[in-house]
Amino acid sequence: MNFSKIPGKIFFNGKFIKSDTAKIHVLNHSLHFSTSVFEGIAVYNFKPLFLTEHFKRLVRSSELMKLKLSLNKEKFEKICNNLIKINNIDFGYIRPIIFRSSHSMSPDTKLCKSLIAIATWKWGKLFKKNGISLTISKYPKLNKAIFPIEAKSSGSYQSSVISKIDANEKGFDDCLMLDTKKFVAETSACNIFWIKKNTIYTPKENSILSGITRRCILEICKKNKIKTQIGDFNLNHILSANNVFATGTAAEIQLVSKLNHKKYSLKSEIIDMLIKNYEKIKAECPSTVSDLKKII
């Protein structure tokens, strides 16, 4: 898919314009210095999932990367819903991005303006297979003390993108990244969970993106009295798990079949229950994770 050729309209510079005219110059600050922040929002049956939750993360990411977000929640949500209508997005994805203009070619951003674009396209699930294979990445995931990891920023994806390429070159679907202390962190674009003796484990929010799907999984577990443990876990912990799954807006709940040579079972009543509940959530498309109480 060539994303520069998506049909329909994109919101850019305060207007809904034809997708093929939504362009930036090659001397753009964010292209050279990785200074953008963005979101990925799923659309199910013409409705965006967790729209307000994504807006809140976009606000936080912008603050951390010192970008100005010129839209308030109401305007942002109205534009996203308009784009779904205009572009007839039944099942797809919304990509808002805030980035710097071309008024500097150095780290000095005083003259740069913050720009916002919101695009949308028809899309399916990220992985098209039942179980994906992972290998450990060469590069660690950074932590809050050395990088604003809470921000969904383009800069935080540099090591993920290289690690994903390395994993693909070795014949794996994706990478599992460890943090600087060698505790399990996340994959290139998903949070990670594993199950051992009916308890679900997931890394704490030190070196990971605070995933909205992750929060949703933890809520479903709470409601269904499934034991969860959030913390620092070493590689041996996940290697001795029965089941492993990854979560994300585009990946949803994705089973993992292999981590290096270790194979995992793809059968789990707990994961079946999580998927069943996630399907209910997709059917309702609440705006926030706190709205989940009425659905699950």
Shortest distance, CB of residue 160 to ligand PMP, whole angstroms? Answer: 6
In this structure, the number of other CB atoms found within 10 A of the CB of residue 27 comes to 11
The label of the residue with tokens 């329909």 reads: 8
Instruction: Find, among 5, 7, 60, 10, the residue nearest to 38 by Cα.
Output: 60
Q: Residue 179 or residue 186: which is nearer to ligand PMP going by CB? A: 186
Shortest distance, CB of residue 129 to ligand PMP, whole angstroms? Answer: 18
Contact present, 16 and 251 (Cβ < 8 Å): no
The residue range among 8-16, 28-36, 105-113, 206-214 that interacts with ligand PMP, by the rule CB under 6 A, is: 206-214
Instruction: Find, among 270, 186, 216, the residue nearest to 49 by Cα.
Output: 216
H or E stretch covering 278: helix 269-284
Question: Which residue has the closest beta carbon to ligand PMP?
Answer: 211
Site for ligand PMP in 106-165 (CB under 6 A): 160
Binding mask 18-57 for ligand PMP (x = CB under 6 A): ----------------------x-----------------
Shortest distance, CB of residue 60 to ligand PMP, whole angstroms? Answer: 12
Contact present, 246 and 225 (Cβ < 8 Å): no
Shortest distance, CB of residue 209 to ligand PMP, whole angstroms? Answer: 4
Contact present, 132 and 255 (Cβ < 8 Å): yes
**Under the criterion CB under 6 A, does residue 167 sit at the interface with ligand PMP?**
no
**Under the criterion CB under 6 A, does residue 186 sit at the interface with ligand PMP?**
yes
- Amino acid present at 172: F
The label of the residue with tokens 């620092």 reads: 232
Crossing angle for the helix pair 269-284 and 212-223, to the nearest 10 degrees: 120
Q: Whole-angstrom Cα distance, residue 217 to residue 152?
A: 20
The label of the residue with tokens 């297979």 reads: 129
**Under the criterion CB under 6 A, does residue 209 sit at the interface with ligand PMP?**
yes
Shortest distance, CB of residue 215 to ligand PMP, whole angstroms? Answer: 8
Q: Whole-angstrom Cα distance, residue 149 to residue 209?
A: 6
Shortest distance, CB of residue 172 to ligand PMP, whole angstroms? Answer: 17
Shortest distance, CB of residue 59 to ligand PMP, whole angstroms? Answer: 14
Site for ligand PMP in 221-260 (CB under 6 A): 247-249
Shortest distance, CB of residue 26 to ligand PMP, whole angstroms? Answer: 26
Contact present, 119 and 158 (Cβ < 8 Å): no
Q: Which two tokens stand for residue 179?
A: 């943090």
Q: Residue 83 or residue 149: which is nearer to ligand PMP going by CB? A: 149
DSSP character for 158? H
Binding site for ligand PMP (CB under 6 A): 40, 160, 186, 189-191, 209, 211-214, 247-249
